[in-house]
Amino acid sequence: MTTVLYDLPGPRTRRRHRYFGLAGTVVLLALAGWTLTLLFRTHQFTAAKWTAFTYQGIQELLLTGLGNTLRAFGLAAAGSLLLGGVLAAGRLSAHRPLRWVCTLLVEFFRAMPVLVMIFFIYVALHAEPLVALVSGLTLYNGSVLAEVFRSGVGAVERGQGEAAYALGMRKTQVMVHVLAPQAVRAMLPAIISQLVVALKDTSLGFLITYEEFLHAGKLIASNLDYDLPFIPVVMIVSPIYIGMCMLLSWLATWAARRQRRNPRVEAGEVAAPEPATLRTEDHRAQG
């Protein structure tokens, strides 16, 4: 038995995959054990190093930083999606000057480092930290998403657009009602991946004194009076960042399932025809 794209693995291949899986599990468990051993040797799990996180002031500082991170990410995500859509529409435009301008903007902002743009907006334009951070993230991620949108629309079968034009639809109608809905399913993983990048890049805000989550952790660690104060802070901040990224991935999976159509069509119950009806139809067929 074969699938559409590849042959199903045989007994040898399945056995080899099982061995590789076991070997990888052993390596990961060894790394985890080695890391925990180092943490215990440096006394990172003693009560003295974790008591500070029970204080209400430190908890409020972390929650405030987390809220500022989510605020910056929400604004940057909305701006990136909007800017990416506008630039992608410009790159797909039939007007050559507009297409050239959008292409130049996409290539420029995609090649420019995010930190350079954030610093330029913050220092040269004297913008507020939140404005500088959101603007830099929007320009970079919006230019990347523009290419994602353009490639997603271009991946749709060409006959779909031609059929829509044959029905008399305008280009905007074809894009909105035919091409874009079909491209969303293919673009969704890349979009979520880029939004995860935007979420992690909000940590650059601490370089321009924006009080986001990493800035709050750095401030807490600098005020602790024991050795290696950054390790407990990292052990708290990192899982929260990982959890937020996993939540975005889960939302992408949920959205993909919502958009996926069920290929199975349940037929309604149809009453069996009476014998007289069958005989009548047979006589008509013979006649």
Q: How far is Cα 157 from Cα 59, in angstroms, rounded to an integer? A: 53
Is the CB of residue 173 less than 8 Å from the CB of residue 211? no
Which pLDDT band, with edges at 50, 70 and 90, does 248 fall under? confident
- Name which residue leads in pLDDT, 266 or 136: 136
Label residue 277 by pLDDT band (50, 70, 90).
Answer: very low
Cα–Cα distance for residue pair 247/237, rounded to 1 Å? 16
Taking CA atoms, 34 is separated from 24, 26, 28, 59, in Å, by 15, 12, 10, 30
Rounded CA separation 232/50 (Å): 7
24-28, 78-82, 167-171, 205-209: the lowest-pLDDT one: 167-171
pLDDT value of residue 260: 63
Of 161, 215, 157, residue with least CA distance to 186: 157
pLDDT band at residue 262 under the 50/70/90 scheme: very low
Query: pLDDT grade, residue 6 (50/70/90)?
Result: low
For residues 45-56, average pLDDT: 85
What's the rounded mean pLDDT across residues 114-131? 94
How much is the CA Rg of the chain, to the nearest whole Å?
A: 28
3-state secondary structure of 116: helix
pTM, two decimals, is 0.77
> Considering the chain, what percentage of its residues have pLDDT values greater than 90?
38
Reported as a single tens digit per residue, the pLDDT across 131-170 is 999 999 999 999 999 999 888 887 777 777 777 777 778 7
Output the average pLDDT for the chain. Answer: 82
Q: Which of 26-35, 249-258, 277-286 has the highest mean pLDDT?
A: 26-35
Map out the domains of the chain as residue ranges: 49-256
172: pLDDT strictly greater than 80: no
- The pLDDT assigned to 5 comes to 53
Cα separation, 31 vs 33, whole angstroms = 5
The CATH number of domain 49-256 is 3.30.70.20: no
Q: How confident is the model over 68-99, as pLDDT tens digits?
A: 999 999 999 999 999 998 998 888 888 889 99
Angle at 37 between CA 36 and CA 39, to 5 degrees: 65
